[in-house]
Structure 1
């Protein structure tokens, strides 16, 4: 297996080709999970099996694509003679790519669950996905100027192809009033989270009551409207603190925090450490070329 680490200023992504010779190859999901990562697998030839702890095995004949959220525990087995590709991506990078997508609302729901795109729905786009993985792996090896933008573009191709082929893009019976309200709310949050708008003001702009909005968010995500805004804020804060050269005070101000002390407390309460400590830790991890949270053995 040829694995290449892409560690550019704006990204934290690993892309690689995978192959099983005379014997199968097994990846242990969640191993050394000190830095939880999103993962994706693509089976271009042969077959694979996914085993998630506490669930039945899932057979994946080629072509097949698989998206895994963080902190999934189990194994991915590539059968003898099979080929494919894999990637892992840090939380901040995935949130940035999803946030920049026109399908941001739908992709936000997808990335936090296991998503499978099978052969019958994926066949038409298998070449596109395979090519995207190849480009990301090449960029990780070559490290040319503009590589970060190239990898971001092809990562979006993979994510959107899996989303479409899995059927997640097809409206379902759950798309009722509550789901529509949640979708509209998330669209507003994506546009205005840096302003930290009052929930009552958002509800008023949507033409609904505060209680209606609160119920829709709880029913759809298990989180309150304010928790969803804070979730988006902290994802952006982590991205900027870990990958930009702005001071912590500048970052906080850009996210609507007029009091630097309050931004520090907000960040620490949700990340577990102050922004300065988080920045030093991310810099140290990058310097050491931190390995992804999966392992393979013959």
Structure 2
């Protein structure tokens, strides 16, 4: 299914314009090929990471390992940085998602300085800039790993019930990775559980119905296909399993607030052009 691209190098994006002009790129569930670091130095919001829902405030850092389904919704005025890592990039951070609270002003300033040096290198074309880019990204990861070591490992973002959490995580991953829209029955069959059990667990853990979870995954894929490819609405509808382009157009407009054509035009306009592939 259509998903965020694997960046060739560490990719740094300022949070404020992303949240202002293309919030759907974070609000719709996605599983990225590489790890994601999200630093929120101002503002608040809600994170959905696998089967876990978390509110957060300023000076929060999230580490999302590769292929972990996640979504973030922000209140207006959020500031910070998003660092998307290539899938091949090895990070000295845990295999599970964590949240760190950067507690003191000196440490917040130190982390801000590291992100600023990475930002400056991101715009460079000087000799060795790709090597420097990777080095700055790695230093941020090492800094955060050491901070976690000194603060109890950070907050592990895992479900309280390991069995149901694992089932929901697998369901989210299947929904995000599917080549076309799945029915609840098909998803249950893939996971080797009954449809009734899957429906009950998803509702209990996420507060959404299984159908809503599948629909969000399809709309996430549809939004990225419209924004980041040149496929026609008919081609996207066929690949995602819609019965007709007209039905796809109606479903897309209902979920995203505007029809695919207008959505594509805005996604490629100057306010959103820098976010392609996220």
CA RMSD, 1 decimal = 5.2
Shift of 1:270: 0.1
* 1:249 CA displacement: 2.1
Q: Specify the alignment match of 1:179 in structure 2.
A: 165
The TM-score normalised by the length of structure 2 is: 0.56
3-state SS in 2 of match to 1:178 = helix
Cα 1:276–1:231 change in 2 (3 A) is: same
Counterpart for residue 229 of structure 1:
214
1:223 deviates by: 1.1
Select the residue among 277, 290, 294 that pairs with 2:262: 277
C-alpha offsets along residues 143-173 of structure 1, whole Å, 9 cap, x if unaligned? 99xx8xx89xx59x86xx68x946454656x
Distance 1:59 1:88, change over 3 A: closer
Identify unmatched segments of 5+ residues in structure 2.
1-6, 27-36, 46-55, 64-70
Q: How far does residue 233 in structure 1 lie from its aligned partner after superposition?
A: 1.5
Residues 1:286 and 1:142: Cα distance change in structure 2 (over 3 Å): farther
Paired residues in the alignment total 219
Please state whether the residue corresponding to 2:100 is helix, strand or coil: strand
Distance 1:254 1:130 in 2: 44
Does structure 1 retain, via aligned residues, the 8 Å contact 2:39–2:82? no
Q: What is the aligned partner in structure 2 of residue 256 from structure 1? A: 241
Q: Is the aligned partner of 1:14 residue 2:13?
A: yes
Partner of 1:200: helix, strand, or coil?
Answer: helix
Q: Deviations over 1:147-201 (max 9, x none)?
A: 8xx89xx59x86xx68x946454656x1333222212212322332x32222112
Distance 1:264 1:117, change over 3 A: same
2:203 match: 218
Match of 2:74 among 71, 74, 91: 71
Q: TM-score, normalised by structure 1?
A: 0.53
Q: Is the 1:203–1:210 Cα contact (8 Å) retained in structure 2?
A: yes
Aligned-residue offset at 1:276: 0.3
Q: Distance in 1 between matches of 2:21 and 2:14?
A: 19
> For the Cα contact (< 8 Å) 2:43–2:74, is it kept in 1?
no
> What residue is the counterpart of 1:20 in the other structure?
none
1:14 match: secondary structure: strand
Distance of 2:189 and 2:235 partners within structure 1: 31
Distance (Å, rounded) in 1 between the aligned partners of 2:199 and 2:14: 39
Aligned residue in 1 for 2:34: none
Q: Which residue of 1 aligns with 2:81?
A: 87
